[in-house]
Amino acid sequence: MIGVSAKSSDEEIVREFFELFKTEWEFERPGVDYDVIVRSADDYGEKLNAKLIIFYGTDTSLTGSLRNVRSVCRDGRVLLFDKDRLPIYGTCLTFPGSSKTDLVDEFTGESVRMPLTQHEHQTVLWIGYDLWEEIRYLLLKGQPELHAEIPALELHIELLRGLFRQYNVAFAEVPSVPAGYNFIACLTHDVDHASIRAHKFDRTIAGFLYRAVIQSFFQFCTGRKSIGDLLRNWFAAISLPLVQLGLLPDIWNRFENYADIEKALPSTFFVVPKAGDPGRLRDGGKAPKPRAVRYRFAKICGQLCRLLHSGHEIALHGINAWLTAKDGTEERVELQYGIEDAGSAAIVGVRMHWLLYDESSPKALDDAGFDYDSTVGYNRTIGYRSGTCQVYKPLGTERLKELPLHVMDTALLFPCYMNCRPEEAKLKIRGLIANASRFGGVLTINWHDRSIAPERLWHRLYADILAELKDNGAWFATGSDAVAWFDKRRAFSFDSGSDASSKSVNALPGLTIKEHRPAQRPEPVELIYC
């Protein structure tokens, strides 16, 4: 059992951290013997009874009472441990005199870990940063693009887990991995341009013609597009007047074709409930006009109903829902009303159009009745904005969960962003798949509705990514099913060995209990719990 002592202002952070590192723990109680105690460094000095005691903190005044200890305090470090790089966003304390070299500053090589006491019955360690402030920063503000590829929160868990094993602490945990799989894959599609006929002589059409005719030619010359793709794009551009007149099919109104590519794999479509509204900004001003979608919901309702009946999910692509609970409720009800004849389940998920979001948004979406949001990600790169592969509960919410967004096709492939060639894109995705296989959790991918149509033609790359996910043992889930599995894991109790018991929960993959018994055997033992 782990005992944790924390300030009252950190208690919500501590609870969420140990929902992600699902192991046996409690807030420290007087007179209870623990295997491990985790405390803030400003609690140092009291004699404690535990096999392993870990202090986190940056208070340099405490080092004056320690013999032969020097300390240096700086902001914004990157730490190295094993083969990983761990960015620290707050203040970090290093101990130049420490002999420990398994957690060091990348630039100076100075240790961030100081053994205070070490003998047969007890080890006391000081880690030179504030763990709870780091977790708070990741969940509230998120990582800058510079460190987007680093799952920082998972590495904080991995560091603590490694210390337990290093000092022979026996413990059990429930990994964020569905039984029988290696991780969860969540396929999503933002429906932003469901009809090219809805656009006349506007910037969207101008951009389409430029990319289909001119940019496609240059991409063909540089090997980024095949001759077949070039001819398809040129034909689409030439045929545009006939499409606008209704004499040829609408080239963008084909997002149902994702069902053919995914071949019975479930996915989630995020749909804007009304056309022509760019939305508002937090300061009350209007969002840029290009943010308004042009398709009318009624025109695609039949397609959405067919997707629902074939096992896909419809969720809200919000315009103003990120601002207030009233906006979120109105948009959710409007979308629900439009598809209720299909016998669909309630609209429980949301992702904001253009990923507009701030620190007040989780509470607004929570109060609006959403079960999950999937907005926290990057527009211009791919990776881990909140530093995690896992579904988590945003701070200050009651039931809302965050399904983090890790990959967006436009960020990966647009010339103004990462501008990856298909093979480069697959290498980037393989890195995220490797992290998902290592840490568990979910890999959430957003491939826009028009991305399989001219002028983008990114369908083959998407199919290749699906094949990679299958080959690496992913469980494919809609957004709501992925969140439901994490809710099932959150409901698990080590004391009672129980989890939530409803038909929907029990239909999900089981949980795995991993027992670390370093004194008896080097490798952990896994038990399946359904």
Q: What is the pLDDT of residues 396-441, one digit of tens each?
A: 999 999 999 999 999 999 999 999 999 999 999 999 999 999 999 9
According to DSSP, residue 213 is labeled I
439 shares its domain with 474 = yes
Q: What is the CATH number of the domain that holds 156?
A: 3.40.50.880
Whether residue 507 lies inside any domain: the answer is no
pTM: 0.93
Q: Which residues contact 179 (CB under 8 A, 6 or more apart)?
A: 509, 510, 511, 512, 528, 529, 530
pLDDT at 9 over 60: yes
- Compute the distance between CA of residue 318 and CA of residue 266 in angstroms, rounded to an integer: 21
Instruction: Provide the pLDDT confidence category of residue 47 given band limits of 50, 70 and 90.
Output: confident
123 shares its domain with 7 = yes
pLDDT at 343 over 60: no
pLDDT at 501 over 50: no
Instruction: Give the tens place of pLDDT for each residue, 114-158.
Output: 887 777 688 889 999 999 999 999 999 999 999 999 999 999 999
* 183-191 and 474-477 beta bridge pairing: parallel
81 shares its domain with 208 = no
Sign of CA dihedral 22, 28, 29, 34: positive
Instruction: Provide the pLDDT confidence category of residue 528 given band limits of 50, 70 and 90.
Output: low
8 shares its domain with 120 = yes
CB of 424 within 8 A of CB of 382?
no
Instruction: Provide the pLDDT confidence category of residue 502 given band limits of 50, 70 and 90.
Output: very low
- What local confidence, expressed as pLDDT, does residue 299 receive? 85
Q: What is the mean pLDDT of residues 22-29?
A: 94
- Concatenated DSSP letters of 238-264: HTHHHHHTTSS--SSS-GGGHHHHHTT
- What local confidence, expressed as pLDDT, does residue 455 receive? 94
Whether residue 527 lies inside any domain: the answer is no
64 shares its domain with 86 = yes
231 shares its domain with 261 = no
- Compute the distance between CA of residue 141 and CA of residue 321 in angstroms, rounded to an integer: 19
Phi, psi of 232, deg, nearest 5: -60, -40
512 vs 45: which has the higher pLDDT = 512
Whether residue 20 lies inside any domain: the answer is yes
The CB density around residue 266, as the number of other CB atoms within 10 Å, is: 19
148 shares its domain with 242 = no
135 shares its domain with 214 = no
- Compute the distance between CA of residue 420 and CA of residue 217 in angstroms, rounded to an integer: 17
289 shares its domain with 245 = no
246 shares its domain with 279 = no
208 shares its domain with 302 = no
Domain holding 211, by residue range, is 199-251
* 372-373 and 401-402 beta bridge pairing: parallel
H helical segments located in 444-527: 459-471, 479-491, 503-506
Q: What is the mean pLDDT of residues 43-66?
A: 76
Instruction: Give the tens place of pLDDT for each residue, 184-224.
Output: 999 999 999 999 999 988 889 999 999 999 999 999 999 88
Residue type, 452: I
Whether residue 511 lies inside any domain: the answer is no
CB of 393 within 8 A of CB of 404?
no
Sign of CA dihedral 400, 406, 411, 417: positive
* 113-118 and 123-127 beta bridge pairing: antiparallel
In which region does residue 205 sit, left (phi positive, over 0), alpha (psi from -120 to 50) or beta (all else)?
alpha
Give me the number of domains the chain comprises. Answer: 3
Gap between the terminal Cα atoms of the chain = 23
Whether residue 528 lies inside any domain: the answer is no
Instruction: Give the tens place of pLDDT for each residue, 470-482.
Output: 999 999 999 999 9
Q: Which residues contact 11 (CB under 8 A, 6 or more apart)?
A: 27
Instruction: Provide the pLDDT confidence category of residue 463 given band limits of 50, 70 and 90.
Output: very high
Mean pLDDT of the chain: 90
- Compute the distance between CA of residue 530 and CA of residue 347 in angstroms, rounded to an integer: 27
Q: What is the CATH number of the domain that holds 290?
A: 3.20.20.370
Q: Which of 45-54, 277-286, 486-495 has the lowest mean pLDDT?
A: 45-54
* 34-40 and 268-271 beta bridge pairing: unpaired
CB of 35 within 8 A of CB of 516?
no
Residue type, 400: L
Whether residue 504 lies inside any domain: the answer is no
Q: Which residues contact 3 (CB under 8 A, 6 or more apart)?
A: 25, 26, 27, 28, 29, 32, 34, 36, 37, 38, 50
- Concatenated DSSP letters of 402-434: E----EEHHHHH-TTTT---HHHHHHHHHHHHH
Instruction: Provide the pLDDT confidence category of residue 503 given band limits of 50, 70 and 90.
Output: very low
Instruction: Give the tens place of pLDDT for each residue, 164-179.
Output: 998 889 999 999 999 9
Task: Output the six-digit token pair for 443.
Answer: 């890999």
Per DSSP, what are the bridge partners of residue 38? 4, 54
- Compute the distance between CA of residue 281 and CA of residue 278 in angstroms, rounded to an integer: 10
Residue type, 322: W
Task: Output the six-digit token pair for 394.
Answer: 């945003």
- What local confidence, expressed as pLDDT, does residue 496 receive? 67
pLDDT at 462 over 50: yes
Q: Which residues contact 207 (CB under 8 A, 6 or more apart)?
A: none
Q: Which of 43-47, 61-65, 274-278 has the lowest mean pLDDT?
A: 61-65
313 shares its domain with 438 = yes
Q: Which of 136, 248, 116, 271 is nearest to 190 (CA)?
A: 271
Half-sphere exposure of 223 (CA within 13 A, CB side): 5
Q: What is the mean pLDDT of residues 14-27?
A: 96
Q: Which of 57, 60, 7, 5 is nearest to 29 (CA)?
A: 5
Secondary-structure breakdown of the chain: helix, strand, coil percentages, each rounded to the nearest 5: 35, 20, 40
Instruction: Provide the pLDDT confidence category of residue 530 given band limits of 50, 70 and 90.
Output: low
Whether residue 139 lies inside any domain: the answer is yes
Whether residue 293 lies inside any domain: the answer is yes
- Compute the distance between CA of residue 380 and CA of residue 377 in angstroms, rounded to an integer: 9
According to DSSP, residue 223 is labeled T
**Cis peptide bond N-terminal to 149, omega within 30:** no
Q: What is the mean pLDDT of residues 17-28?
A: 96
According to DSSP, residue 56 is labeled E
- What local confidence, expressed as pLDDT, does residue 380 receive? 97
